[in-house]
Amino acid sequence: MQFSFAGPPLASPWFHDMQQGLTEAMMRAGHEAVSDPDAAQLVFHHVDPSYPRPFRRKSQAVFVVGLVNGPPLGLSPVAEIYPLLLRSLSNLLIYGAESTPTGVTLVTPELGCYPVGYESSRASWFDHLYTYIAPLASSRLVITNHFDWNLPPELARGTPVTAALREASRVLARWHLFPTPYPLHAMLSPQDYRHLRRVFGIGGISYGNLSARHDATRFWMSASGVDKGTLGTVSRDILLVTDYDATMGAMRLSVSPGSKPLRVSVDAVEHWGIYRSHPAIGAMIHIHAWVEGVATTAINYPCGTVEMGDAMADLLRQDPHPERTIIGLRNHGITATGPNFADILARLEGRVQTQVPMQ
């Protein structure tokens, strides 16, 4: 893939060093450096910690890695850096403390936080750092929604399946499994908030999603950026996913004429693949929480990518009971499958840890 650098001019020797080292590591991994950020699929964006601005993506399928050189971090690095990730709308943020060349700290949108200490060899350190960037540099994001305004009225009124989805979302909310730790509309300027909604299709971070099979090929799924504890309106926050169009790189949704649908959860492409390959799966719940002792994906691919879906599908294939299991997504959360929500909730009850262990 093609990558580039953007943002304010190089402000410190740290930026200069990072740009050089990352460029070399990216090229060793087979990626191509381009000078125009608008032509790149991955952009390293210099972010000023005192005035964090987003890189204006021209396309939704661009990943942004924020680079910040700021004051030394205190005892809670996530709380200090995560707001910079949000304000700069980055998919990954690399933070290096001023004048303390002991390494960098990385944060991800799923609240992953990793210190990466320097190694004696400069090239091997940047290659190590690249392993955190590789999932972004090698995945395809599917977050475009294509709406077909043809949802039949009998489905728009709701079905037993949409009622079960609504009920399950309320149970999970009562268990406090849909945290909304950052009030984005309060943290971002009105322009950045609109940009965030357009680029990521989210209006707030309320982690997790639910979906349930409608028939052999179609399924209902929660919308992104809504409070999952108050889901309930078909064709607005409960959406019928009919297909994944690989040519358009878009999820297809059937919605009611005249309705105001929100965008479907970014994980729709992953659920689409799973429902197609596992006819016995009737429902899925994804939460940013953990269950001890589950099979876990090896790489932390971003949500909403074809590769995350493939990694999940691989683990399900190896599972003796894919239709009734729990898969761990490294440093991120779990996805549970089952014949229906009641079955999944019964297996989750009392076993869920709200904190995801970070490796």
Q: Summarize as ranges the residues that interact with Zn ion (CB under 5 A).
A: 303
For residues 57 and 195, what is the distance between their CA atoms, to the nearest angstrom? 9
Whose CB is nearest to Zn ion? 303
Question: What is the number of helices (H) and of strands (E) in the chain?
Answer: 10, 18
Backbone angles phi, psi at 144, to 5 degrees: -75, 140
Q: Enter the tokens of residue 106.
A: 């990385």
Minimal distance in Å, beta carbon 309 to Zn ion? 12
- Residues whose CB falls within 8 Å of the CB of residue 295, separated by 6 or more in sequence, listed in order: 315, 318, 319, 325, 327, 328
The H or E element containing residue 173 is: helix 160-174
Nearer to Zn ion, 269 or 303 (CB): 303
Nearer to Zn ion, 130 or 200 (CB): 200
Nearer to Zn ion, 65 or 177 (CB): 177
Minimal distance in Å, beta carbon 109 to Zn ion? 9
Nearer to Zn ion, 4 or 335 (CB): 335
Minimal distance in Å, beta carbon 288 to Zn ion? 6
Nearer to Zn ion, 125 or 207 (CB): 207
Nearer to Zn ion, 151 or 172 (CB): 172
Minimal distance in Å, beta carbon 301 to Zn ion? 11
Nearer to Zn ion, 4 or 224 (CB): 224
- Give the single-character DSSP code of 2: E
Minimal distance in Å, beta carbon 311 to Zn ion? 13
Give helix 341-348 / helix 160-174 axis angle, nearest 10°.
20
Minimal distance in Å, beta carbon 151 to Zn ion? 26
The number of C-alpha atoms within 13 Å of 67 and in the hemisphere containing its C-beta is 26
Minimal distance in Å, beta carbon 145 to Zn ion? 18
Minimal distance in Å, beta carbon 53 to Zn ion? 26
Minimal distance in Å, beta carbon 26 to Zn ion? 26
Nearer to Zn ion, 4 or 90 (CB): 90
Do 253 and 231 touch, CB atoms closer than 8 A? no
Backbone angles phi, psi at 312, to 5 degrees: -65, -45
C-beta atoms surrounding 42 within 10 Å: 21
Nearer to Zn ion, 255 or 270 (CB): 270
